[in-house]
Amino acid sequence: MRKVQFVDFGLVEYQAAWDYQTEKFNEVVNRKLNNRNLPPETQSEQLHYLIFCEHPHVYTLGRNGNEDNLLLDEKALVEKAATFVKINRGGDITYHGPGQLVGYPLLDLDEFFTDIGRYVRFLEEIVIRTLAEYSIESARINGQSGVWLDADTSKARKICAVGVHLSRWTTMHGFAFNVNTDLNYFNNIVPCGITDKGVTSMAMELGKEIDMNEVKIKLLKHFKELFEAELL
């Protein structure tokens, strides 16, 4: 069983979470590189990380994203109490805010599997299985990352965005799962650059606020099952 250190920050500024991600990412990579120069009996055991958190209102733009997909100027961002950050994950623009559960796995995939597509599917599957426990049927859409409801219809709407970055087969960033999210903030962007589909949340679909801690417990269960991991 791979050992994964679980950290739950609760509500945390985006930059602070990114700084922590970067620190732990470098730690995982350095441990991997150092082990390569050591005989097996003296190598350090690799430790991976999984971060859960929520962010104050922030829009993040992936490295290949289009800044025109942010529909607010600097003044409007201030009025919305939101910030805008360019980052190094894949994907276009997305929103993070209170009520949205963000997961950042920092995994050395050399110890799991070296397959980016499979990794993204596993992140999606964690959410799909969690939603199923609330009787919400969800699926993937070919050619688009994330988790969707009514995926094959004109009513398709995204409930979870996925955007990752890998270097030396070590992961950063992850998924953003709309649990009790204020969906009005998505009106200020073209989410993930997609113009013909909407967004939703668990609260919207079920008509009530959802217990965030309960959702976390279910996500962690499916993470452990899929990645065959022990959480510390």
CB contact at 8 A, 174 and 164 = yes
pLDDT score for 194: 61
Is the confidence at residue 90, as pLDDT, over 80?
Answer: no
**pLDDT reported for residue 227:** 97
Q: What is the pLDDT of residue 136?
A: 98
**Position 192: which residue type?**
C
Q: How far apart are CA 11 and CA 16, in angstroms?
A: 11
- Torsion over CA: 17, 22, 27, 33 (sign): positive
Confidence of residue 81 (pLDDT cuts 50, 70, 90): very high
* Catalytic entry in 4, 160, 183, 192: 192
Confidence of residue 62 (pLDDT cuts 50, 70, 90): confident
pLDDT score, position 147? 97
Q: What is the pLDDT of residue 6?
A: 98
* CA within 13 Å, CB half, 94: 32
- Percent of all residues in the chain with a pLDDT value above 90, rounded to a whole number: 79
Distance CA 58, CA 17 (A): 12
Share of the chain above pLDDT 70, in %: 97
Listed residue (225, 169, 219) closest to 1, CA to CA: 225
Return the half-sphere exposure (C-beta side, CA atoms, 13 A cut-off) of residue 210.
Answer: 29
Q: Please confirm, yes or no, whether 53 is among the known catalytic residues.
A: no
In order, the DSSP letters of 145-211 are EEEEESTTSTT-EEEEEEEEEEETTEEEEEEEEESS--GGGGGGB-GGG-SS-EE--HHHHHTS---
Q: How confident is the model at residue 131 (pLDDT cuts 50, 70, 90)?
A: very high
pLDDT of residue 5: 97
Averaged pLDDT, 36-58: 94
Q: Determine contact, residues 164/120, Cβ cutoff 8 Å.
A: yes
pLDDT (0 to 100) of residue 139: 96
CA distance 8 to 14: 14
Mean pLDDT score, 20-25: 96
Q: What is the reported pLDDT for 191?
A: 65
d(CA 45, CA 54): 30
pLDDT in tens, 183-217: 999 999 886 556 567 899 999 999 999 999 999 99
Give the length of the chain. Answer: 232
Helix (H, G, I), strand (E, B) or coil at 231: strand
Query: 181: domain range?
Result: 2-231
Q: How many domains does the chain have?
A: 1
Rounded mean pLDDT of 124-149? Answer: 96
Q: State mean pLDDT over 100-127.
A: 97
Cα angle for residues 183, 189, 190 (degrees, 5° grid): 105
CATH number of the domain within which 17 lies = 3.30.930.10
Q: What is the model's pLDDT at position 65?
A: 85
What does the pLDDT average to over 127-139? 98
State the chain's mean pLDDT as an integer.
93
* Mean pLDDT score, 115-121: 97
